[in-house]
């Protein structure tokens, strides 16, 4: 198929996927992303061969990943995640990084660059993937949702920093200097975002909200473009810019137009989850190297091993470093959500393949394990949370 045909096919899958999810959810709550990825594999080169790999589709897919990370950054409410919980989340990720790199060095026999690729992949949390699941289950705005949001935000942001330091191909000192320079500019942007907006700014947001002007939406897209541009200038991964843009956008909108911020982001989410994000997940399935996974026994054997490592290396520290007083079921659910990964695993393995550090089979095993994590871990977490959530009673028992 040529580009238009592939795009039409991908969007047809994006429409079909929620229908399938809706139908299956009567019996078991399967995350929507699973249908998008699996259907992508079915129509991809290793399936029916209907969808082709081309630069046009890849560009749209990259935009989808960028939007996913942007939305994850936007969800971070620093007023809710600061303090002891944030320190515990940071500590848990640092422990995860140490475990991930140590495990990777042991598996690779001390191959430094390959160990950086595999070890960093083991540290990520797919916060952008988990958020819709939490939102649909009603957990996002409760205490448990804040807990997952805090630990997940560090699990999303930490690997991006690690990618900039370990996988950039530059000397560590230069990478650190560039990262610090980007961080300084981002900090200035955050300070400016916290300052009160002039009255005309809030007024034009309100006046154009229901017109073709859409000033607020365009302003947010400008912020995203600027931060992506800055990350590119500094030679950093654009996902770092996307995450920072999400954080800054939230501060600007909540400061300038708190009464309209929800509606504004609803429109941006519609653009993301209605077009770009599903396109990324479908293309992830289309690009998945199923042949490499099934080529010999090694990649297929690595898949469950990597899946177990995701749970132990990432989930273990979350379970043990969760705030005191959390019930065992909630700790386990937190570990399962935190071990759910995919977008950054795809990005990291792509770097490894481009640099010829890992082979196609190893990349397929890592991405395949990440896909299974998206299917299995949230399902188990949802079941645990459903059991932990008390049944409403006349006594007004409090629930999450």
* pLDDT tens-place string over residues 169-204: 777 678 788 888 888 988 888 888 878 888 888 889
> How far is CA 15 from its chain centroid?
21
Closest among 15, 148, 2 to 77, alpha carbons compared: 148
Helices and strands in the chain, H and E counts = 20, 0
Span of 98-102, 145-149, 382-386 with lowest mean pLDDT: 382-386
Distance (Å) of CA 106 to CA 99, 111, 306: 11, 9, 14
Question: Per-residue pLDDT for 4 more than 90?
Answer: no
- Please tell me which residue, 70 or 387, carries the higher pLDDT value: 70
| pLDDT given for residue 56 in this prediction | 86
Between 381 and 52, where is the model more confident?
Answer: 381
Residue 109 scores a pLDDT above 50: yes
Whole-number pLDDT of residue 253: 86
On the question of pLDDT at 85 being above 80, the answer is: yes
Instruction: Show the 3-state SS of 276-334.
Output: HHHHHHHHHHHHCCHHHHHCCHHHHHHHHHHHHHHHHHHHHHHHHHCCCCCCHHHHHHH
Mean pLDDT of 325-349: 90
Segment 381-389 shows an average pLDDT of: 77
Residues 79-84, mean pLDDT to the nearest whole number:
70
Q: Which two tokens stand for residue 353?
A: 């393949």
Q: How confident is the model at residue 396 (pLDDT cuts 50, 70, 90)?
A: very low
Position 30 scores a pLDDT of: 76
Domains and CATH numbers, the chain: 61-387 (1.20.1530.20)
For position 78, what pLDDT does the model report?
67
pLDDT for 3 equals: 55
Give the Cα separation of 151 and 162 in Å (integer): 16
pLDDT at 395: 38
Give the range with max mean pLDDT: 37-51, 89-103, 208-222, 248-262. 89-103
| pLDDT (0 to 100) of residue 389 | 58
- Outline where 25-121 has alpha helix (H): 32-43, 55-74, 78-81, 84-108, 112-121
Torsion over CA: 211, 221, 156, 106 (sign): positive
Residue 398: pLDDT band with limits 50, 70, 90: very low
Record the tokens describing residue 264, joined without a space: 């504004």
Confidence of residue 308 (pLDDT cuts 50, 70, 90): very high
Neighbours of 132 (CB within 10 A): 18
Check: CB of residue 63 under 8 Å from CB of residue 272. no
Neighbouring C-alpha atoms within 13 Å toward the C-beta of 238: 14
What are the pLDDT digits (tens) for 148-172?
988 988 888 888 888 888 877 777 6
The three-point CA angle 51-52-58 to 5° equals 110
Predicted structure pTM score = 0.82
Task: State how far the Cα of 113 lies from the Cα of 166, in Å rounded to an integer.
Answer: 8
Q: Which long-range contacts (CB under 8 A, 24 or more apart) does 258-263 make?
A: 260/205, 260/206, 260/209, 260/216, 263/209
If one compares 150 and 295, the residue with the highest pLDDT of the two is 150
Q: What integer is the mean pLDDT of 50-72?
A: 86
Q: How confident is the prediction for the chain on average, in pLDDT? A: 85
Span 107-120, average pLDDT = 89
- The per-residue b/e assignment along 55-80, b for 16 or more CB within 10 angstroms, e otherwise, is eebeebbbbbbbbbbbbbbbbbeeeb
Decide if 32 contacts 132 (C-beta within 8 A): yes
């Amino acid at each position: 198929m040529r580009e238009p045909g592939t795009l039409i096919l991908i969007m047809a899958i994006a429409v079909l996927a929620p229908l399938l999810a809706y139908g299956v959810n009567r019996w078991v709550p399967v995350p929507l992303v699973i249908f998008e990825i699996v259907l992508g594999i079915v129509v991809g080169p290793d399936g029916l061969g209907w969808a082709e790999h081309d630069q046009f589709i890849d560009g749209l897919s990259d935009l989808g990943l960028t939007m996913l990370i942007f939305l994850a950054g936007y969800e971070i409410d620093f007023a809710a995640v600061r303090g002891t919980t944030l320190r515990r989340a940071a500590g848990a990720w640092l422990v995860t990084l140490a475990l991930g790199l140590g495990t990777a060095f042991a598996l690779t026999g001390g191959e430094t660059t390959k160990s950086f690729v595999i070890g960093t992949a083991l540290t990520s949390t797919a916060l952008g993937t988990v958020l819709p699941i939490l939102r649909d289950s009603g957990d996002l705005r409760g205490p448990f949702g804040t807990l997952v949001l805090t630990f997940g935000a560090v699990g999303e942001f930490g690997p991006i920093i690690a990618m900039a330091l370990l996988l950039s191909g530059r000397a560590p000192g230069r990478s650190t200097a560039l990262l610090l320079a980007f961080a300084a500019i981002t900090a200035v942007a955050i300070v400016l975002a916290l300052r009160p907006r002039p009255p005309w700014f809030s007024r034009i947001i309100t006046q154009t909200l229901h017109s073709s002007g859409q000033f607020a939406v365009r302003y947010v897209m400008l912020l995203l473009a600027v931060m992506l541009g800055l990350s590119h200038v500094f030679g950093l991964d654009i996902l770092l810019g996307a995450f920072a843009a999400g954080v800054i956008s939230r501060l600007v909108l909540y400061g300038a137009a708190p009464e309209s911020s929800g509606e504004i982001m609803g429109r941006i989410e519609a653009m993301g989850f209605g077009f770009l994000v599903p396109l990324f997940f479908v293309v992830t399935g289309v690009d998945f190297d199923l042949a490499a996974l099934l080529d010999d026994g090694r990649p297929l054997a690595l898949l469950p091993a990597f899946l177990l490592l995701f749970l132990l290396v990432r989930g273990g520290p979350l379970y043990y470093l969760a705030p005191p007083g959390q019930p065992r079921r909630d700790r386990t659910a937190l570990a399962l959500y935190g071990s759910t990964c995919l977008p950054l695993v795809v990005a990291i393995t792509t770097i490894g393949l481009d640099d010829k550090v890992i082979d196609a089979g190893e990349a397929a095993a890592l991405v395949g394990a990440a896909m299974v994590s998206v299917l299995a871990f949230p399902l188990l977490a949802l079941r645990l949370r459903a059991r932990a959530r008390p049944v409403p009673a006349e006594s007004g028992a409090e629930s999450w």
